[in-house]
Amino acid sequence: MNSPILSFSSKLLGILGFIFGAHILALYVRKLPLFEEYLLISYALNFTLTVVIYAMVTKASKKESAQGGFVFLFGSAFKFILFFIILKPLFKVDGEISGVELASFFVPYLICLIYEVYILSKALNNK
């Protein structure tokens, strides 16, 4: 059985895996610490939340298409709230948030957001 959520999850995992490898390579080339900036937590958190939001949007849009948009907006806001609750305190342990730390959140966040918007817009436009 090829469910849309399973297909979405596996493709997103593949994309994030590739981007994660490129991210690690970029850190390595610049001789920066590879795993000190909570990189794994950020990628895992963004992946998990994106899959959950995608599932909720597809379920909500089956009932009423406008409802799916609201679920998407609230889900995106929820991601940022979790960033401020979970990751920002970890990043600010040394008193500041570096560019490497910001990238460790925003790279997976933007990749997940772009992929999610692309897939959802295709799915919702086909209705």
Which residues span the domain enclosing 17? 4-125
What is the per-residue pLDDT for 62? 81
Q: 10 Å Cβ neighbour count for 106?
A: 14
- The Cα 111–Cα 118 span in angstroms is 11
What is the per-residue pLDDT for 105? 84
Asked if the model's pLDDT at residue 2 lies above 70, the reply is: no
What is the per-residue pLDDT for 37? 63
CA distances from 66 to 50, 79, 84 (A): 19, 21, 28
State which H helix or E strand residue 105 sits in. helix 99-125
pTM here? 0.87
Quick one: what percent of the chain has pLDDT higher than 90?
41
Asked if the model's pLDDT at residue 1 lies above 70, the reply is: no
Within 13 A of 8's CA, how many CA atoms are on the CB side?
26
pLDDT tens, 23-80?
Answer: 999 989 988 877 766 888 889 999 999 999 999 998 888 877 678 888 888 998 988 8
As for how many domains the chain has, the answer is: 1
